[in-house]
Amino acid sequence: MNQEFKASLKSADTEEHIDIYFYRPIGYQWARFFRMLHVTPNVVTILSIFLGVGAGICFYFDDLAINILGIFLLIWANVYDSCDGQLARLTNQKSALGRILDGAAGDFWFVSIYFAISFRLMPEWGWKIWALCIVAGFGCHAVQSRLADYYRQIHLFFLKGKEGSELDDASKQVELWKQMKWKKEPVQKLFQFFYKNYTLGQERDTPIFQIFKRNLRERYPQQLPEQLRADFRAGSLPLMKYANILTFNWRSITLFTSILVGLPWLYPAIEITVFSLIFFYMRGTHERLCLKLNQKVLKGEYGA
């Protein structure tokens, strides 16, 4: 593994095996290609949105060849979703808009996928399939992937510090949204509206971590103690595999399997059941970890 490829990755702690051995190597080659053409990471993200939405449209058809094309397009979209971050790290073109666009890309893909499944099965299921997909998409999928992303950024923050993570405060995102003007920057303000709600949701779902974070800022405004960082990593690292399950790879494998066997309803059903169980276990374990470490901080076990 060459040094430039390593520099394009976030961390071995948060990278999944499928990413490391498939998506990241391909994404790295695309990143080198786009760097040569002076294509920006945001343009790559927008390309991934079109590919992912195209994949969703393909899943509407009850035709195996078109469905396989959809699988190929969604894999391609995720390669570009991997590539945009790698390109940003290689060229130092990181931006707040890029972070927002990157998060929105997957939402565009899966909204189109849920719509496609609903329209495809409506003749057989009626409006019940819409209820299933709305619960799966908005009630489960969006919440699960939002928290999984948050936990990975928290882990990177403790591992690498602020510079090595994309951990954002909701209060700052709300303030940024208020400062933007609809007349001057309507598109960015629209994306910021959704992103502030995204970060507010992350903080709302993690009440104990928010208390822990406030205490850390009060006691250690400059730098966290090394032992605290090590203790947090030891407790958080086993949860990264669950965070990865709740992001793209295993969700897409479930989707592809359900489409290929001709039972598209299986995907939202598994989303509501299996993935929800993983979500609640991950969140409960993480909150207990934060509670335990917060008590140690309050007792002064890591120093003043």
Token pair, residue 107, equals 């939402």
Q: pLDDT band at 206, cuts 50/70/90?
A: very high
C-alpha triplet 196, 103, 24: angle, nearest 5°: 150
One DSSP character per residue, 164-224 reads G-----HHHHHHHHHHS-TTT-HHHHHHHHHHHHHHHHHHHT-HHHHHHHHHHHHH-SS--
Predicted local confidence at residue 258, as pLDDT: 97
CA atoms lying within 13 Å on the CB side of residue 238: 9
Q: Which residue has the higher pLDDT, 303 or 270?
A: 270
Count the Cβ atoms, other than its own, within 10 Å of residue 263: 12
The residue type at 82: S
Label residue 74 left, alpha or beta by phi (over 0 means left) and psi (-120 to 50 means alpha). alpha
**Residues 133, 118: Cα–Cα separation, whole Å:** 7
Percent of the chain exceeding pLDDT 70 equals 97
Q: 214 is written with which tokens?
A: 């406030």
181-204 tens-digit pLDDT: 988 888 888 888 989 999 999 999
Residue 1 scores a pLDDT above 60? no
On whether the CB atoms of residues 43 and 27 are closer than 8 A, the answer is no
What is the share, in percent, of the chain residues with pLDDT greater than 90?
68
10 Å CB burial of residue 119 (0-12, 13-18, 19+) is: middle
In this prediction, residue 257 carries a pLDDT of 97
Q: What does the pLDDT look like over 12-67, one tens digit per residue?
A: 778 788 888 889 899 999 999 999 999 999 999 999 999 999 999 999 999 999 99
Range from 3-7, 231-235, 263-267 carrying the lowest mean pLDDT: 3-7
pLDDT beyond 70 at 7: no
Q: Please report the pLDDT score of residue 164 as a whole number.
A: 62
Residue 304 confidence (pLDDT): 65
With a cut of 70, say whether residue 125 has pLDDT above it. yes
Q: What per-residue confidence (pLDDT) applies to 8?
A: 64
77, 55 in Cβ contact below 8 A? yes
- CA geometry: angle 108, 41, 99, nearest 5 deg: 60
pLDDT of residue 282 exceeding 60: yes
Beta-carbon count within 10 A of 132 CB: 21
Model pLDDT, residue 142: 93
Helix (H) or strand (E) holding 237: none
* pLDDT-derived band at 250, boundaries 50, 70, 90: very high
Q: Give the per-residue pLDDT at 165.
A: 72
Per-residue model confidence (pLDDT) at position 301 = 86
- Average pLDDT of the chain is 91
First vs last Cα of the chain: how many Å apart?
Answer: 41
Q: What is the pLDDT of residues 55-112, one digit of tens each?
A: 999 999 999 999 999 999 999 999 999 898 888 888 887 777 777 788 788 899 999 9
The whole-number average pLDDT for the span 9-14 is 74
Residue 254's nearest CA partner among 285, 237, 276 is: 276
| Residue 231 pLDDT > 80 | yes
State the pLDDT at residue 72: 97
* CATH number listed for the domain at residues 3-298: 1.20.120.1760
pLDDT at residue number 191: 86
How many residues are given for the chain?
304
Query: Which is more confidently placed, 49 or 223?
Result: 49
Instruction: Give CA–CA dist 168/18, Å, rounded.
Output: 27
Report phi then psi at 247, rounded to 5: -105, -130
Q: Token digits for 50?
A: 């079109």
DSSP letter for 299, please.
T
pLDDT attached to residue 85: 85
